[in-house]
Structure 1
Amino acid sequence: MTENLSIDGHVHFFTASDLAAVEGQLPYLLPSPHSLSDYLADLASAGIFPKLLNNVHLSILPDSSNVFASFDELAALKAKWPERYGDVRLVGTIKADPAYATVERLSHPDVFGIRIVLHDAPPESISDRAYRSDDWVALIGRLRVQQHVHIYAKEAETNLRVLRQMPETIRVVIDHLGSCHAERGADEPSYHALLEEAKRRGNVWFKGPGYRTSTISMMSFLSCRQSSRPSERTAFCSRPATLRTLGRAAKATVLQATSILCRRSNSRRRSLRR
């Protein structure tokens, strides 16, 4: 068995049964089923045995039943092949909805976050109290100290408006590097504002790249780039990556990365929403 520290911080595991819940309801083709068992078998065939996986709520599904089912699936795999899968740790990020993310669900020891899915929501659709209502305050209050809020929106200002409504003690992950728009370039004011707010808070991470934003040259650029000053280095892990805003060097990296992504992969963002 190959020893490694492989981590997949953002993956979706779902079955044909899960997809049946939304069949015929979406304006695009559904993805093929992607089970945890098949995923791990494919990696094992390449000699890769991941240590940590995060099964994130799939935005097209009505709930996160697939996340909880994957916990049971891994337990069965470990019981059958303890030597192969005994060291795999699976955590989950579930749907961020006050009615769904109950105390019981958030109390599961392997649930480590909630995902707010906004897709194309324009900034003006996010009111100043959208996430400060009593039910959302109660939901945020139910989070354990190690749990985070994951925000997915295709507009930087939409991400920013949601971020500003999160308590500053809550760790936040911004999906797909906050998204980018080729026609706006890397100097988009709202994107700069998002980065500044993230830096000010100090507990915000930008996740990426994924299938919308990944390119070989992008991975090489980010994996090699770091400041000569250790305190300002950019923390980055390959697919899916986590980039933490740490000082000026991190900001510069995000902006340059965004410019590359806008030029090379903007067309991918019109594909399947996840």
Structure 2
Amino acid sequence: MPDTCPAPITGIDSHAHVFSRKLNLAAARRYTPGYDATLAQYLKHLQTHGLSHGVLVQPSFLGSDNSYLLAALKQAPEQLRGVVVVERDVSRVMLNDMARLGVVGVRLNLMGKALPDFRDAAWKDFFGHIAELDWHVELHRHVEDLPELIHQLMPFGIKLVIDHFGRPDARLSVDQPGFPELLELGLSGQVWMKVSGIYRLADTPQQNLEFAQTALPLLEQSFGHRRLVWGSDWPHTQHEESVGFNTVVEQLQALECSTQLMRSLLVDAPQALLGFACGR
């Protein structure tokens, strides 16, 4: 690996989505977009806010058809990485093809779904492939269910990434069911947390921010600088009317992170987790 980076890393947005309203949408979905979120728009946001790289995450309403995301990765291979949604019986050939395009993880969006049992033997080959590829598994679920899911996944030896602070309820304290256990699991060295989606924490904007401000030092203590990453969650689906890229950048600044933590959130931690080692 060369010592210099062809695309210097000034900041990495670890969670964003691109899509078109004209795409075939999943039959079972909780949301239907009425607009397009294009790669050109996203790259413009990165440039405007001094960010150099980004991670595209497959939105749930597109199901396991990752073609739009993969096409975006081809357009900006040095700037982007991808996190896909795939079926459990996906072939290794397909996963290898995705890896060559810059895919680094799979997302398990379990919001509104029956909880799977990852101890079932049917999952063994799937997670075996993920481990061999050195990808991560991203979990999106309310906090009370996360500890059990994480315990089931840890024996596979895969990197685990938790979406949006673990989706706690900002109307409750940091002692709410699941959150203390999540902090304990952060000590394992196998779990990462996305400092993102503050506006999704179920209360008013001010209360959501106050909860994040309270939670972040606890997360920092448990997960450490190197396992916390920031994401914009652009284009903020279901919150488009009240949240924009400026909003989430302002929320990040309002967390009043130390210089060291801010550098780690935006550069060091995501660079290591997501494979942004001096470009591709």
Aligned counterpart, 2:25: 21
| 1:194, distance to aligned residue in structure 2 (A) | 2.3
Which of 1, 7, 10 does residue 12 from structure 2 map onto?
7
1:113 partnered with 2:100: no
Sequence identity (%): 23
Aligned counterpart, 1:40: 43
Aligned counterpart, 2:238: none
- Provide TM-score, normalisation by structure 1: 0.65
The one-letter code of the counterpart of 1:17 is K
Aligned counterpart, 1:78: none
1:113-135 deviation line (CA, Å, top 9, x unaligned): 011111034xxx536xx112233
What are the within-5 Å matches in structure 2 for residues 209-224 of structure 1? 209-210=196-197, 211-213=199-201, 221=213
C-alpha distance in structure 2 between counterparts of 1:72 and 1:217, whole Å: 36
Structure (1 or 2) with the larger CA radius of gyration: 1
Q: Is the 8 A contact 2:14 2:55 kept in 1?
A: yes
Q: Is the 8 A contact 1:126 1:161 kept in 2?
A: no
C-alpha distance in structure 2 between counterparts of 1:151 and 1:227, whole Å: 17
| 1:111, distance to aligned residue in structure 2 (A) | 1.2
Q: Is the 8 A contact 2:85 2:106 kept in 1?
A: yes
Give the SS at the match of 1:48: coil
Q: Is the 8 A contact 2:192 2:229 kept in 1?
A: no
1:94 partnered with 2:84: yes
Aligned counterpart, 1:269: none
C-alpha distance in structure 2 between counterparts of 1:4 and 1:15, whole Å: 28
Aligned counterpart, 1:190: 178
C-alpha distance in structure 2 between counterparts of 1:239 and 1:31, whole Å: 23
The one-letter code of the counterpart of 1:66 is Y
C-alpha distance in structure 1 between counterparts of 2:94 and 2:210, whole Å: 37
Q: Per the alignment, do residues 134 and 237 of structure 1 end up closer, same or farther by CA in structure 2, a change over 3 Å counting?
A: closer
Aligned counterpart, 2:244: none
Q: Is the 8 A contact 1:91 1:111 kept in 2?
A: yes
The one-letter code of the counterpart of 1:162 is L
Q: Per the alignment, do residues 232 and 140 of structure 1 end up closer, same or farther by CA in structure 2, a change over 3 Å counting?
A: closer
Aligned counterpart, 2:61: 60
What are the within-5 Å matches in structure 2 for residues 1-274 of structure 1? 5-18=10-23, 20-22=24-26, 26=29, 28-44=31-47, 46=48, 48=50, 50=52, 52-63=53-64, 64-74=66-76, 88-100=78-90, 102-107=91-96, 108-109=99-100, 110-121=102-113, 125-126=114-115, 130-143=117-130, 144-154=132-142, 156-168=143-155, 169-199=157-187, 201-210=188-197, 211-213=199-201, 221=213, 234-235=225-226, 236-240=228-232
| 1:91, distance to aligned residue in structure 2 (A) | 1.1
Residue segments in structure 2 that go unaligned for 5+ positions in a row: 1-6, 234-254, 256-280
Q: Per the alignment, do residues 191 and 62 of structure 1 end up closer, same or farther by CA in structure 2, a change over 3 Å counting?
A: same
Q: Is the 8 A contact 1:92 1:111 kept in 2?
A: yes
C-alpha distance in structure 1 between counterparts of 2:83 and 2:219, whole Å: 31
C-alpha distance in structure 2 between counterparts of 1:131 and 1:37, whole Å: 38
C-alpha distance in structure 2 between counterparts of 1:67 and 1:227, whole Å: 30
Give the SS at the match of 1:158: helix
The one-letter code of the counterpart of 2:115 is I
Q: Per the alignment, do residues 34 and 133 of structure 1 end up closer, same or farther by CA in structure 2, a change over 3 Å counting?
A: same
C-alpha distance in structure 1 between counterparts of 2:92 and 2:129, whole Å: 6
| 1:218, distance to aligned residue in structure 2 (A) | 5.7
C-alpha distance in structure 2 between counterparts of 1:148 and 1:234, whole Å: 18
Q: Is the 8 A contact 2:25 2:61 kept in 1?
A: no
The one-letter code of the counterpart of 2:110 is L
Aligned counterpart, 1:79: none
